[in-house]
Amino acid sequence: MIIGIPKEIKNNENRVALTPAGAFALTKAGHCVLVEKGAGCGSGFEDEEYTQAGASICEVEEVFAKAELIVKVKEYMESEYAYLREDQMVFTYLHIANNEPFAQALIASKTTAIAYETIVSKSGTLPLLTPMSEVAGRMSVQIGASMLQKANGGSGILLGGVPGVMPANVVVIGGGTVGFNAARIASGLGAQVQVFDINAERMAYIDDVSNGTIHTIYNNEYNLRAALKEADLVIGAVLIPGAKAPKLVSEDMVKTMKQGSAIVDVAIDQGGCIETCDHTTTHDDPTFVKHGVLHYSVANMPGAVPRTSTIALSNATLPYILELADKGLAALKEDDGFRKGLNTYQGVYTCQAVADALHAQYHDPQDLL
């Protein structure tokens, strides 16, 4: 199969979908890999490394025109919609539940679109979302700590405090991969951390592995509202696979927060879980102030640490890319969890959560493949 790796063009998106090691594995398996010129430079991989691994370096038009399978990191930008076509598979983070124009472009072009974020492993986890969730969760605390600095518009609080001075109060909404990684980093820096969730087993796990240093609280509006009044840093880490994130923090609740406190909404790529994060920002201009509270709502957070993110992502996606390259759509027929990644096919929506979010008709992929 011919696999195309285009350069990411989203603002400050320096990740690439495949490392030279991944290209080597694919070419060794008998496949052809076309990499757009300069695609890996942002992650520290030069074109020569790809050619040494057996890939061919091409211009963007050739990559899209010749490839049977396009592998990306992020969704297509509007200028890339023209490349979509019926006889091509696309494998990337789609996030179309919160991106109707891209969703409509996929439907109109009848593209076979497979989303990293809705693939499910045999153990029930989200294997291709996990590595970037780990990165984003850890980054969220670094970013929040910087936002709290006075020079950046924050209240001037050191996250971990010092002897004789209380540390910051960090509220993490959601105890999944993002939330747990955020809580671990915040706690490690000495902050007082509260994780809000509704899964009793997950809260018990967090309490156990943290030896009680991370406090877990059952999430409801009453509890969350009380915590937000005292919070210095709030991290939104809520996920419903494939669907829009629920708005758990209302604008009214944000108004009760302290002046100079900070919010990092990691869920923004799925619409965000905090009402006042009403638009996405970029790495060039990542923050804004609303009701005296700093907000950060960059949708491609891991793109700021592309070397780590690219290697972690490629490690996770490569087995699936090899399956697609070897078997085509038969790989989805054989694996229920892999098939859950199929979001659009032949002009219809094949992911229930996506169809519901877009108020569209769902078609069972088992009936179509």
Domains observed in the chain: 2-126+305-367 (3.40.50.720), 132-299 (3.40.50.720)
Confidence of residue 38 (pLDDT cuts 50, 70, 90): very high
Please check whether residue 193 is in contact with residue 211, taking contact to mean a CB–CB distance below 8 angstroms: no
More confident residue, 242 or 245: 245
17 alpha-carbon distance from chain centroid: 14
82-131 tens-digit pLDDT:
999 999 999 999 999 989 999 999 999 999 999 999 999 999 999 999 99
> Above pLDDT 70, what percent of the chain?
100
Please check whether residue 351 is in contact with residue 94, taking contact to mean a CB–CB distance below 8 angstroms: no
As a whole number of angstroms, the distance between CA 246 and CA 273 comes to: 5
Mean pLDDT of 335-357: 97
Q: Regarding beta strands 262-265 and 233-236, do their DSSP bridges make them parallel or antiparallel, or are they unpaired? A: parallel
Confidence of residue 243 (pLDDT cuts 50, 70, 90): confident
Confidence of residue 343 (pLDDT cuts 50, 70, 90): very high
| Alpha-carbon distance values, 215 to 54, 148, 221, 250, 261 (Å) | 50, 22, 17, 23, 20
Per the DSSP assignment, residues forming a β-bridge with 233 are 170, 262
pLDDT at 240 (0 to 100): 87
Q: Which residues are catalytic?
A: 95, 269
Confidence of residue 242 (pLDDT cuts 50, 70, 90): confident
| Alpha-carbon distance values, 194 to 159, 203, 248, 257 (Å) | 14, 11, 16, 16
Encoding tokens for residue 367? Answer: 């009936």
pTM: 0.90
278-327 tens-digit pLDDT:
999 999 999 999 999 999 999 999 999 999 999 999 999 999 999 999 99
Question: How long a stretch of residues is the chain?
Answer: 369
| 3-state secondary structure labels for all residues of 21-83 | HHHHHHHHCCCEEEEECCCCHHHCCCHHHHHHCCCEEECHHHHHHHCCEEECCCCCCHHHHHH
Mean pLDDT of 190-201: 97
Encoding tokens for residue 147? Answer: 């936002």
pLDDT at 227 > cutoff 90:
yes
